[in-house]
């Protein structure tokens, strides 16, 4: 077996709800009379795996995943409204979760792939196919959504308790950061809370909203659930956009959630913005000496920046630190301005000016690492159904897949590989191809 095939087999064993393949109907074929040379080939393969650092790291990641997450229990907790189903809700959930690492863009594609013998063996099915798209849709229409939400909170809670979701800021300070934002998926709107980590972010919670204009209510519900499931102080900072520039949210985070709120906005009509602009751009030298200033060049975003910040601002009876950020991009994206300005507000007055700018940019991780990545892998933004319940179930299972996939990539230190592939998008897509290939390789090895 070639080296990349060995990698594929190891990768397949890592990512699934259960090791269903090893218990499938093809298990009997593995018990056969040993042919001449089989034992030696197994020994050679074992020696190869033991001597390869990457294989050892993948094997370690597989054991960690099985150790830290009750994958079998999660599968059993999946329920739907069908009576005496021939295909369990757990099996259907597994196929939906695996749409992420397989890069399957529709239930029809799941249907087609489920007819391959290697897929039947992997899921341990005794039928001619694992599941059809119509059966999957019927199951999702009555799916127990709370079980999906609970699993997401459990994944986030485990990683958060182990302090694996800390971000180092420019000042050297390590902080746990949460990002919350709303989005639209195929005509349905909702909000998502992610916990930011080095290299990957985890979806902790999500809730659908009634439509445009109701994002704030859905986001506040998620934050309350975060306190309920993860406890007070589940993060140090919650990063949000200008929609959350309200007295209620600035007060609620420190008092109820035990964390600080940071808001990035380009709104100029706020009274606190007018006060800050008058102070920051004053010609009075005494005032200028008391301000915090920073400037430099951001190699990651390829832009130069200047920041002016000061604490002690009062806005609607809320004590805030305010920062004005100016940036000029050397190679602006098509359709984007070369120079941009925005304001950053936070209840955490201990943050430095550069830390405030960095957290404001980190807020965009939820868009790039979650929304766009999910759309790239499974076309999550496209309309696949008019049923709101089905859409919510699909999103939840996709988020579970995105989390587990991201954890795997982090455990095998994907940072070194992302440079070779130039972009994270290409790296993830490459692993999708590897995952699909691994299914066939594992099946052929069993026959």
pLDDT at residue number 134:
94
User: Is the same domain home to 56 and 73?
Assistant: yes
DSSP tag of 193? E
pLDDT in tens, 405-440: 888 777 766 544 444 334 567 777 777 877 777 777
Let me know if residue 327 belongs to a domain: yes
187: number of Cβ within 10 Å: 14
- Whether residues 162 and 277 fall in one domain: yes
Question: Looking at the structure, do residues 217 and 329 belong to the same domain, yes or no?
Answer: yes
User: What is the C-alpha to C-alpha distance for residues 355 and 173, in angstroms, rounded to an integer?
Assistant: 9
Do 13 and 121 share a domain, yes or no?
yes
393 domain residue, yes or no: no
Cα end-to-end span (Å), the chain: 14
Q: Is 40 exposed, middle or buried (0-12, 13-18, 19+ CB in 10 A)?
A: exposed
Both 181 and 250 in one domain: the answer is yes
State how far the Cα of 35 lies from the Cα of 347, in Å rounded to an integer.
Answer: 70
Strand runs labelled E in 13-86: none
Q: Which residues pair with 329 in a beta bridge?
A: 303
Give dist(CA 152, CA 311) in Å, integer: 37
* 204 and 324 part of one domain: yes
Domain count, the chain: 2
pLDDT digits (tens, 9 = 90+) for 153-197: 999 999 888 778 899 999 999 999 999 999 999 889 999 999 998
Is the predicted pLDDT of residue 16 greater than 50, yes or no?
A: no
Higher-pLDDT residue of 139 and 71 is 139
Residue 267: phi and psi, rounded to 5, are: -70, 125
Q: What is the mean pLDDT of the chain?
A: 84
* CA angle (171, 175, 181) in 5-degree steps: 115
pTM here is 0.85
Same domain flag for 183 and 302: yes
pLDDT at 63 over 70: no
Whole-angstrom Cα distance, residue 412 to residue 394?
27
Question: In this predicted model, which residue has the larger pLDDT, 236 or 83?
Answer: 236
Residues 128 and 206 in one domain: no
Residue 15 falls inside a structural domain:
yes
């Amino acid at each position: 077996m070639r080296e990349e095939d060995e990698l594929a087999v190891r990768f397949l064993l890592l990512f699934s709800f259960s090791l269903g393949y090893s218990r499938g109907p093809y298990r009997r074929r593995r018990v056969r009379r040993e042919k001449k040379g089989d034992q030696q080939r197994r020994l050679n393969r074992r020696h190869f795996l033991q001597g390869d650092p990457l294989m050892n790291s993948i094997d370690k990641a597989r054991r960690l995943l099985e150790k830290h997450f009750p994958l079998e229990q999660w599968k059993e907790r999946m329920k739907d409204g069908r009576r005496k189903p021939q295909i369990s809700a757990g099996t259907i959930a597994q196929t939906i979760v695996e749409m992420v690492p397989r890069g399957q863009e529709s239930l029809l594609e799941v249907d087609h792939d489920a007819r391959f013998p290697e897929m039947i063996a992997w899921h341990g099915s005794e039928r001619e196919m694992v599941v059809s798209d119509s059966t999957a849709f019927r199951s999702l229409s009555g799916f127990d959504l709370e079980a999906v939400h609970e699993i997401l909170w459990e994944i986030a809670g485990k990683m958060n308790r182990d302090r694996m979701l800390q971000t180092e800021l420019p000042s050297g300070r390590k902080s746990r950061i949460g990002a919350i934002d709303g989005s639209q998926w195929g005509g349905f709107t909702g909000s998502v809370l992610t916990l930011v980590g080095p290299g990957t972010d985890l979806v902790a919670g999500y809730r659908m909203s009634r439509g445009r204009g109701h994002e704030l209510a859905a986001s506040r519900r998620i934050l309350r659930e975060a306190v309920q499931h993860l406890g007070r102080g589940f993060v140090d900072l919650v990063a949000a956009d200008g929609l959350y520039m309200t007295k209620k949210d600035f007060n609620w985070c420190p008092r109820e959630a035990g964390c600080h709120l940071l808001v990035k906005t380009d709104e100029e009509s706020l009274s606190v913005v007018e006060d800050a602009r008058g102070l920051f751009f004053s010609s009075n030298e005494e005032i200028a000496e008391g301000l915090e200033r920073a400037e430099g060049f951001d190699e990651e975003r390829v832009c130069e920046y200047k920041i002016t910040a000061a604490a002690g601002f009062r806005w609607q009876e809320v004590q805030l630190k305010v920062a004005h950020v100016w940036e000029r991009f050397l190679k602006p994206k098509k359709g984007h301005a070369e120079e941009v300005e925005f304001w950053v507000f936070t209840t955490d007055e201990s943050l430095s000016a550069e830390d405030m700018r960095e957290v404001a940019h980190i807020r965009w991780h939820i868009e790039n690492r979650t929304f766009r990545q999910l759309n790239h892998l499974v076309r999550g933004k496209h309309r696949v159904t008019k049923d709101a319940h089905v859409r919510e179930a699909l999103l939840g299972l996709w988020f579970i897949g995105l989390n587990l996939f991201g954890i795997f990539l982090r455990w095998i230190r994907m940072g070194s590989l992302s440079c070779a592939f130039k972009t994270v998008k290409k790296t993830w897509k490459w692993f999708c191809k590897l995952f699909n290939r691994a299914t066939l390789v594992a099946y052929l090895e069993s026959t």
